[in-house]
Structure 1
Amino acid sequence: MKNTLKAGIVYTFQFRIPHSKTVPALYPESPEFQEMPEVFATGFLVGLLEWACIKAIHPYLDWPHEQTVGTHINVSHLAATPPGLVVTVKVTVVKVDGRHLIFEVEAHDSLDIITKGTHERYLIDRERFVKRAKQKAQSTNT
């Protein structure tokens, strides 16, 4: 992690919502989801917020050796967004405490604010993290 990764970094990211990011696409195996309205799914919204946070700090990491993983999300999904609209996400690094990062996140779809809240990420060594995940998977297969 570069010493320039500090609170105050602001990043804005835009994404046009395709049909593949709506509620019925979230879990195609779920008949319940298949019956729900075709609007931007909360699960995909969380992923979009994570993506924006990752992009915001990417220049400050020794990528791909250093990466971050999401550890906490606290947002409200305030408005429905149909496919075709562009969502603009604004993230701000509000705290860097060692490897623990806290972001304020907000997104709008040009008509409504669709989310506000916070997101926390943790800096990892990718190789070490993958090694532990593989060990965990192997321990459940024995």
Structure 2
Amino acid sequence: MKSSLVPGLTAQVSVTVDDSLTVPAVSDAYPGFADMPRVFATGYMVAFAECAAMAVIAEHLDEGESSVGIDVNISHTAATAVGMTVTAHAELLEVDGKVLSFRVSLEDEAGPIGQGSHKRAVILRDRFDAGVAKRRDSAR
């Protein structure tokens, strides 16, 4: 991590909700989702909040570094219809070794839709991938 990765950094990202981001589109592997309302899915909202946090740190990571989400506590307080634009905001609150803590909030044109906290861990991608492979192989 670069020394420029300090609390107070912010980023925001926006996306227009289309059918691929709705609850029925989550996955055929998860029973029950197909009959749910055609609104922005909570799972995609959480992933989008993570995207905003990743945008905060992107230019502050060294070669070979990446990050993974390790904690999410986000409320989803309002439904967003297809065609509306969602904006996610993230602010880096704390750098504790390799663990980064964020405040996140999301809104659409009608107002707030969610907020909470998120933590990411900075990883060395090659080492992380090797650990995942070892875990997979040990389960066989």
TM-score, length-scaled by structure 1: 0.95
Cα deviations by residue, 1:86-140 (Å, 9 ceiling, x for unpaired): 1011110000111110000001001020111000000101000000000111111
Secondary structure class of the residue paired with 1:6:
coil
Residue 29 of structure 1 deviates from its aligned partner by 3.1
Residue 45 of structure 1 deviates from its aligned partner by 0.7
Ranges of 4+ aligned residues in structure 1 off by more than 6 Å: none
**Superposed CA RMSD:** 1.0
Q: Which residue of 2 aligns with 1:6?
A: 6
Give the counterpart letter for 2:21 in structure 1. K
Question: C-alpha separation between the residues in 1 aligned to 2:30 and 2:101?
Answer: 33
- For structure 1, which segment, 25-34 or 54-63, has the greater mean C-alpha deviation from structure 2 after superposition? 25-34
CA 1:81/1:137 → structure 2, altered by over 3 Å: closer, same or farther? same
Cα deviations by residue, 1:56-77 (Å, 9 ceiling, x for unpaired): 11000024x1011000001100
Q: Percent identity?
A: 37
Secondary structure class of the residue paired with 1:4:
coil
TM-score, length-scaled by structure 2: 0.96
Contiguous gaps of at least 5 residues in structure 2: none
Q: Contact conserved, 2:8 with 2:91, CA < 8 A, in 1?
A: yes
Figure out how many residues of one structure are paired with residues of the other and give that number. Answer: 140
Give the counterpart letter for 2:76 in structure 1. H
Contiguous gaps of at least 5 residues in structure 1: none
